[in-house]
């Protein structure tokens, strides 16, 4: 009888378990977030709903820039062969700093953005650490390969927030009351007891050494990434464009950002198998995946540009109204850039798995520099200048990520 060598599991094999729960949970969560905005916005009106949009924006920026790196580094830590204890002191300091910064911003802009209502300070002071715990909890779930629970927590966070908001509005609550529904959604993570066992692990060897540097590099990368992604409307306005042009740019880019928004809740599914491949020395396989993602990103960018050019303006008009119809080129730039940004989000998980957060930061800072150069050297049309800068910045950063991942040695 001939013995056969066991086949080493491929990345596709590794991704299978629990993926359906994560995908469905993510899609439902995105729909829930949209319904929250739609129902609450119509019930309160644009003026009264404005403080909630500011609170939502603060939470989004803190989560994507600071808390997602904590979640991802937690997943990587738990999937290494010699898993270190959690750097809890570091995480607590980071959450505290994010909370203090958010509360300070709310205090400074209280009269201008929050109608002078001091209770928004309390909401923000509770909301930010709640989402810090939510991110760390999801990191522990995904790092422990509890992907079904991860999907359920993502689903429940959005649905609980939506249900509470609907009930509060039905009872006559206004914007302040609605603010507490944002907090309630994040607390749902505790139902799955993600922190069980971590207290005992904390008695082991410390992981503080090196964790702060890795987190700082990752936060730097995300900060540069989010600047390329979200600062466009501010730059358009700074270039002297009228308010209507700023609104059209904002709504166009926001509409095409939907795939990227969904992707934020799916990247935790690909990081564990990438990390295990690094731990097992399968760097050559990761290089092949980097090249595949590079080719796929280029193809999707080209397809997105063509689709945006042909159907983008009509799609925006259909969903938002004729007054928000963008030019064909702006729609094409937004669609193409968002396609690259979405693939880049998955591609950079390879660098995180390799512990190469320094290379990741370098790629995004280079992309940010390219975007700034395009704005500086651009033409007269503010929206097109910033749209071209967005696409150029994403393309350069993505190229840097693919290059770094495909040339990284074991």
Same domain, 300 and 199: no
Q: 3-state DSSP call for residue 138?
A: helix
Tell me what the pLDDT averaged over the chain comes to: 85
Same domain, 107 and 191: yes
Give the pLDDT confidence of 132-183 residue by residue, as tens digits: 999 999 989 988 888 889 889 989 999 999 999 999 999 988 888 888 999 9
Whether residue 254 lies inside any domain: the answer is: no
Whether residue 152 lies inside any domain: the answer is: yes
Whether residue 215 lies inside any domain: the answer is: no
Q: Nearest Cα to 268, choosing from 146, 392, 386?
A: 146
Which alpha helices (DSSP H) does 144-207 contain, by range?
147-170, 175-187, 198-201
Max mean pLDDT range (108-117, 256-265, 309-318): 309-318
Same domain, 26 and 154: yes
Same domain, 199 and 63: yes
Same domain, 190 and 322: no
Whether residue 185 lies inside any domain: the answer is: yes
Look at residue 338 in the predicted model and tell me its pLDDT.
94
Look at residue 286 in the predicted model and tell me its pLDDT.
85
Q: Select from 165, 189, 206 the last residue of a domain.
A: 206
Q: Select from 179, 206, 233 the last residue of a domain.
A: 206
Q: Which two tokens stand for residue 215?
A: 């987190």
| Higher-pLDDT residue of 379, 82 | 379
| Higher-pLDDT residue of 43, 305 | 305
Tell me the average pLDDT across 173-195: 89
Look at residue 409 in the predicted model and tell me its pLDDT.
66
Same domain, 154 and 297: no
Domain of residue 93 covers: 16-206
305 has pLDDT over 50 = yes
Look at residue 193 in the predicted model and tell me its pLDDT.
87
Domain count, the chain: 2
In degrees, rounded to 5, the angle at the alpha carbon of residue 74 between the alpha carbons of residues 346 and 401 is: 30
Whether residue 98 lies inside any domain: the answer is: yes
Same domain, 290 and 400: yes
Whether residue 226 lies inside any domain: the answer is: no
Q: What's the rounded Cα separation, in Å, for the pair 352 and 58?
A: 25
Give the pLDDT confidence of 32-91 residue by residue, as tens digits: 888 887 788 778 876 787 788 788 878 888 998 999 989 988 888 887 765 566 788 889
Residue 31: pLDDT band with limits 50, 70, 90: confident
Q: Is 321 left (phi over 0), alpha (psi -120 to 50) or beta?
A: left
Q: Select from 167, 183, 206 the last residue of a domain.
A: 206
Same domain, 147 and 20: yes
CA dihedral 350, 352, 358, 363 (to 10 degrees): 50
Whether residue 383 lies inside any domain: the answer is: yes
Place of tokens 């696409």: 391
Look at residue 209 in the predicted model and tell me its pLDDT.
59
Same domain, 200 and 278: no
Same domain, 57 and 172: yes
Same domain, 303 and 198: no
Same domain, 199 and 308: no
337 has pLDDT over 80 = yes
Whether residue 1 lies inside any domain: the answer is: no
């Amino acid at each position: 009888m001939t013995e056969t060598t066991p086949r080493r599991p491929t990345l596709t094999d590794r991704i299978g378990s629990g993926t359906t729960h994560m995908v469905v949970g993510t899609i439902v969560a995105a729909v829930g977030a949209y319904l929250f905005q739609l129902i609450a916005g119509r019930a309160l009106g644009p003026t009264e709903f404005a403080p909630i949009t500011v609170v939502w924006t603060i939470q989004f920026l803190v989560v994507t820039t600071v808390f997602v790196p904590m979640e991802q580094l937690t997943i990587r830590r738990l999937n290494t062969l010699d898993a270190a204890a959690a750097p809890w002191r570091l995480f607590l300091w980071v959450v505290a700093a994010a909370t203090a910064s958010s509360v300070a911003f709310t205090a400074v802009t209280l009269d201008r953005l929050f109608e002078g209502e001091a209770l928004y300070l309390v909401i923000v002071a509770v909301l930010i650490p709640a989402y810090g715990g939510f991110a760390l909890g999801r990191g522990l779930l995904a790092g422990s390969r509890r992907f079904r629970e991860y999907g359920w927590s993502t689903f429940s966070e959005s649905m609980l927030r939506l249900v509470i908001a609907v009930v509060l509005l039905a009872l006559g609550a206004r914007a302040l009351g609605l603010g507490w529904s944002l907090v309630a959604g994040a607390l749902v993570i505790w139902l799955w007891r993600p922190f069980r066992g971590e207290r005992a692990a904390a008695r082991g060897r410390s992981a503080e050494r090196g964790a702060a540097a890795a987190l700082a590099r990752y936060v730097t990368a995300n900060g540069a990434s989010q600047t390329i992604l979200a600062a466009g409307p501010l730059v358009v306005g700074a270039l002297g464009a009228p308010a209507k042009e700023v609104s059209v740019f904002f709504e166009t880019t926001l509409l095409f950002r939907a795939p990227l928004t969904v992707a934020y809740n799916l990247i935790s599914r690909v990081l564990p198998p990438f990390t295990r491949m690094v731990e097992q020395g399968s760097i050559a396989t990761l290089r092949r995946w980097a090249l595949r993602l590079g080719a796929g990103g280029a193809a999707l960018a080209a397809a997105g540009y063509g689709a945006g050019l042909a159907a983008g303006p009509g799609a925006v008009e259909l969903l938002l109204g004729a007054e928000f119809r963008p030019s064909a080129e702006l729609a094409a730039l937004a669609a193409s850039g968002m396609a690259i940004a979405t693939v880049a989000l998955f591609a950079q998980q390879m660098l995180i798995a390799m512990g190469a957060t320094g290379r990741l930061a370098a790629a995004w800072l280079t992309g940010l520099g390219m975007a700034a150069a395009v704005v500086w050297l651009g033409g007269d049309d503010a929206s097109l200048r910033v749209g071209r800068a967005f696409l150029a910045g994403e393309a350069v950063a993505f190229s840097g990520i693919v290059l770094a991942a495909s040339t990284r040695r074991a």
